Structures are given as structure tokens and as C-alpha cells.
A = this chain, B = another copy of it.
């Protein structure tokens, strides 16, 4: 009997099934919320560390702003609040009484960052001011789906203020490429389509929204991270101004950018197969699993030695010593959890001086010398990352077709992405796509790079069904 619903039969069913059986997450007691279990949380910690390191390298500093925002504050940026109001959770009572002014749980922290940026920025010397926070946010979801759309999710949100439009744009693009693009490709092994959103799809209040779009294994798109150039919209609403070198007061140019636990959903759907997760080594809580096939003194001794050596080599290693359980059941479980490399140690192989090295990504298996097992495991991890990225790239190439009209785009979006000249689509074509359940994921230059903005001539639209 197969372990999971098959992807080909029912991709959404497979997704739910793998989340339950790999013990990644469960629904919380309040509708739409999520309990993140140890395996998925460990993945999230690794994703966080990779993102955080790059954010700090880009010169931003971490801060923490409050969960609760006075309801009135959200009204200062009209376009912004309009984008969020149906999703807000409102605290009306606290400390045993009704509050004078209700407070909303942050759906994002633009407005409260705006208020304090205005206070902290005085002169051109204070710019750029680049801040980031790791936090939970709440946006009420009517049709929740674990990791992809939950009423509460974990994310980082960066908020920066700059002296010039060019500096703001350059910073948003740096985050887009050097943080999100890099983590997605180099750590999560997900090839990224990086472009700008159309006016319809753009973040409320932004002048340009940069997006990283990924293709899932069912050919649908998932928006993985976005970076917004906010122009002077927020600066005007919150009076974020600085005195320039000539002593004149100037409005700042601001940006914001975010990525969330949705990345875990992307990771599951970009690489998982009918046996479970396939984790890229960079975010695998266990990179090399040592499996004791049988309880035997020599097996224990070799396992202990390899565990030590793998840890000394800087790898995340764990040993499965549960020899009282059937080997098949144990291997099935670790395949579900997506551990990239296993070293299976049994007395028969040891008699020949070897252990069995199994790779999760391509299910290959080879005998390696005990003395060479650490080097072989490290090499297998490098290959596994490249193989996952290569496989995802190959799918993207195969399932992205060039079309020249809306009907062909809708047809192509049944199985993958379509690329269509924006001149042949435009806002009207976008509406027509929308009625067929298809959306413009982003706009690219003819060379496939990120345009300066959505108004540039000659752009191409990438369209797909999306999560």
C-alpha cells in the first residue's frame, strides 16, 4: 500500500497527507491557525538563519515592534488599510474591561514602523535606516491551508527609509536578489522567476512590488517573497522626513519586504514526491541519518564512530537505533521526513568493510567503504542539492511555454506557466485570465530580468494558476 496519496492523482490531497504523516504541522484550536511541529520548526529555524544572515549582511538591523496596533493608526494610509481591513483580528477587551480604542493584531507592521521611523529620522546622517523584524502576524483566512494561508503566520518584515528614490529602489532590489533570490536558489534549491507585479497584483500602497515566484510540482505558481518600493506614500502619511545637507526638509523614500512560513509550503511542493519530502541539505534538520540495521556490537561501534566524524565535519547527523522496530517501517518514516542521505549499517556489509549509502533525492543506493563514508556522505549532500535544483529547473523549462494570446495562456496554465507579451495581455487580458482562475504572476524584461517598473514598455507577463 502506498504511503501517501499520489501526487498525480490528487496533488492537494498529497500535500495534506505529507504534512500529517511527516509530522510537520496540524491545525490549531482556533480556525485557520497552525501548530508547527518539531520537524517543520527545525526546518524553519534553518531557513530563518539563512535569511537573517543575509539581511544583516545587507546592513539591516533587527528590532521588535508590538503585536497590537491602535485601530486608528491603520487609517492613516487609506490605500493600505483598504487592502487589509477584511482580514483584521480586533481586540476589544483587555485587563478585564472594554478598551477605549480597540486594537488590531498586526496584519503587517508598516504603520507602526512608519510612526517610529518618523521619530527616529532627523537628518540625512540617519539615512538609510534599515530595520527588520521576525514576528507573527494575523490575517483572517476563510480558506486556510497549512503553511500556505493560515490566519496567523510567522515571517520577517523589513522596513527601510532612504534619502533618494534611487537608493530605495536599489535596496529593495538588493534584498530581492541577494536575500530572497539567493536563499531560494542556493539553500532551498528552488529556481526563481524574479519580476515585478502588475498594478492589480501589487501591494496596497507600493509603487513597485518585486516578487519571487516558484513553480510547484503540479505546475502551479507560489509567490515566495516580495519586496516593495513604497515611493513617498508611507513617508507622506507618516511624515517620515529628513533635513538634507542644505538644511531643507525632504520626505524619505521607503521600502518593505517580507518572507514567511509559506516558504515551507513551497519547499514541500517544489521537491516532494510520492514517498514524502525531499529536503535540500541546507535546510535538512538531519542531513545524514545513520541507521543501525541490526543491533550488534560492531554495528554500534562503527555507527558511533561515524556519528562523531560526521559531526566533526560540520554535518547535522542523527542515529536511528530503534532496532526493535522493522527496518522497512523506519526507512519509510525517514523518507517521509525527507532526510537527504542515509548511511545504513548492518553486520553483513561490515563484514566486507562497507556501509550502504542511500540518497533520498534520486533513491540511489551504493556500497561505500567505512573509511570513506564521511567523505562520500558530504559529496552526496552536494550532489543532492544540485540534483534537486536541476530537476526543478528542468521542470520549469519544460512546463513554461511561450504564447501570444490569452486563450493559449489559459490553456498552458492547466499544466504550467505561460509567457505572453504584456502588450498582448494588459489589464483587460489580466481580467480575462482572472475569470479563468489564472493570474499574472509577474512581468519580466524580454531578456527575463527584473524590469525597472511595471510601466516599462516591451515587457513579458508570466501567467499561471497560483496558490
Contact = CB atoms under 8 A, between A and B. Distances in A.
Given A61-B42, A103-B30, A35 B95 contact: no
Given A90-B94, A95-B86, A66 B33 contact: yes
Nearest to A115: B29
Interface string A23-44: 0001011100111111001101
Interface stretch (A135-143, A205-213, A326-334, A455-463): A135-143
Contacts of A138: 67-68, 94
Contacts of A64: 34-36, 41, 44, 154
A112 B29 contact: yes
B28 A66 contact: yes
A361 interface: no
A92 interface: yes
Contacts of A33: 66-68
Nearest to A103: B30
A376 interface: no
A141 B95 CA distance: 7
Contacts of A115: 29
Nearest to A39: B61
A62 interface: yes
A298 interface: no
A151 B67 CA distance: 10
The residue in A42, A73, A92 that gathers the most chain B C-beta atoms within 10 A of its C-beta is: A92
B94 A93 contact: no
Number of copies: 2
Interface string A73-96: 100000000000111111111111
Nearest to A90: B93
Contacts of A67: 33, 67, 105, 136, 138, 152
Contact of A26 (B34, B42, B70, B116): B116
B95 A28 contact: no
Contacts of A351: none
Contact of A68 (B45, B86, B152): B152
A269 interface: no
Interface in A103-148: 103, 105, 112, 115-116, 131, 135-136, 138, 140-142
B35 A69 contact: no
The residue in A26, A38, A69, A88 that gathers the most chain B C-beta atoms within 10 A of its C-beta is: A38
A101 to B, nearest CB: 9
Nearest to A116: B35
A41 B112 CA distance: 17
A166 interface: no
B28 A65 contact: yes
Contacts of A151: 68, 94
A63 interface: yes
A59 to B, nearest CB: 11
A67 B64 CA distance: 16
Interface of A: 26, 28-30, 33-38, 41-42, 44-45, 61-70, 73, 85-96, 103, 105, 112, 115-116, 131, 135-136, 138, 140-142, 151-152, 154
Given A29-B70, A35-B63, 6 more contacts: A30-B70, A90-B91, A91-B92, A95-B141, A95-B142, A105-B105
19 contacts: A29-B69, A29-B115, A30-B66, A30-B68, A33-B68, A35-B63, A35-B112, A38-B61, A38-B63, A38-B131, A41-B62, A42-B61, A44-B64, A87-B95, A91-B105, A94-B138, A94-B140, A95-B140, A136-B136
